[in-house]
């Protein structure tokens, strides 16, 4: 599945983008570290960084456990006054057949708490999910900092 809907928006400033494959549990740790670094680049607060890193951890693990692996694009975009970290998780797994159920607290097809996806949605300022059964899932989340 191509992440058409999830391309990070173009912007000026010191933009950067990095793609990290998600194939093992160690990759999930690597995603967390890279997201923390990106959040430091835009000067995010400690609480905002923790929220974004935790959401990234949930989504990366979903990509691994339910999507059968995939990748995440971590992009720092935006202008001087508003800088943004965007994450696009892509997998080519079985997809999500019932989206509203998947976003319900406590619903899990695996052995988890069923709070990862819905929790990540609450933790991020922007959250977008697109899934086609049999093709895969793309989740795009974002957080930003604003300076006057």
Partner 1 sequence: MPDSTGSNLPGLLSRYQDRILTDWIAAQSEVGVLRADLMREAELRRQSRSFLSHLIAATKNGLNFDIESEQWQDVRDMLTEVTNFRVDHGFTPTETATFILALKQPIFECLRDQYKDDPATLVNEAWSATVLLDKLGLYTNDIYLRGREDIIQRQQQEMLELSTPVVQLWDRIVALPLIGTLDSARAQIVMENLLEAVVESKAEIVIIDITGVPTVDTLVAQHLLKTAAAAKLMGAECIISGIRPQIAQTIVHLGVELPQVATKADLQSAFAHALKRTGVTFSATKPAHTR
Among 57, 107, 144, 145, binds partner 1 (CB under 8 A): 57
**What's the closest the beta carbon of residue 7 comes to partner 1, in angstroms?**
26
Gyration radius (Cα) of the chain, Å: 15
Task: Please tell me whether residue 89 binds partner 1 under the rule CB under 8 A.
Answer: no
Residue 15 or 108: the one with the smaller Cβ distance to partner 1 is 108
141 bridge partner residues: 87, 127
Distance, in Å, from the CA atom of 127 to the CA atom of 52, rounded to the nearest integer, reads 11
Residue 21 or 25: the one with the smaller Cβ distance to partner 1 is 25
Record the tokens describing residue 43, joined without a space: 């000067």
Candidates 3-11, 56-64, 90-98, 131-139; binding stretch for partner 1 (CB under 8 A): 56-64
**What's the closest the beta carbon of residue 119 comes to partner 1, in angstroms?**
4
* Positions in the binding site for partner 1 (CB under 8 A): 25, 28-29, 32, 46-47, 49-51, 53-54, 57-58, 61, 105, 112-113, 115-116, 118-119, 122-123
């Amino acid at each position: 599945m191509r992440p058409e809907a999830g391309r990070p928006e173009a912007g000026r400033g010191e933009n950067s983008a990095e793609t990290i494959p998600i194939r093992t549990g160690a990759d999930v740790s690597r995603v967390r570290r890279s997201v923390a670094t990106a959040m430091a680049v835009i000067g995010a607060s400690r609480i905002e960084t923790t929220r974004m890193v935790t959401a990234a951890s949930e989504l990366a693990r979903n990509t691994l456990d339910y999507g059968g692996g995939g990748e995440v694009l971590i992009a720092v975009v935006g202008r001087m006054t508003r800088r943004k970290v965007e994450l696009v998780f892509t997998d080519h797994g079985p997809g999500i057949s019932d989206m509203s159920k998947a976003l319900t607290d406590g619903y899990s097809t695996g052995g988890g708490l069923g709070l990862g996806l819905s929790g990540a949605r609450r933790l991020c300022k922007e959250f977008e999910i697109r899934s086609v059964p049999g093709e895969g899932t793309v989740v795009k989340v974002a957080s930003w900092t604003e300076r006057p």
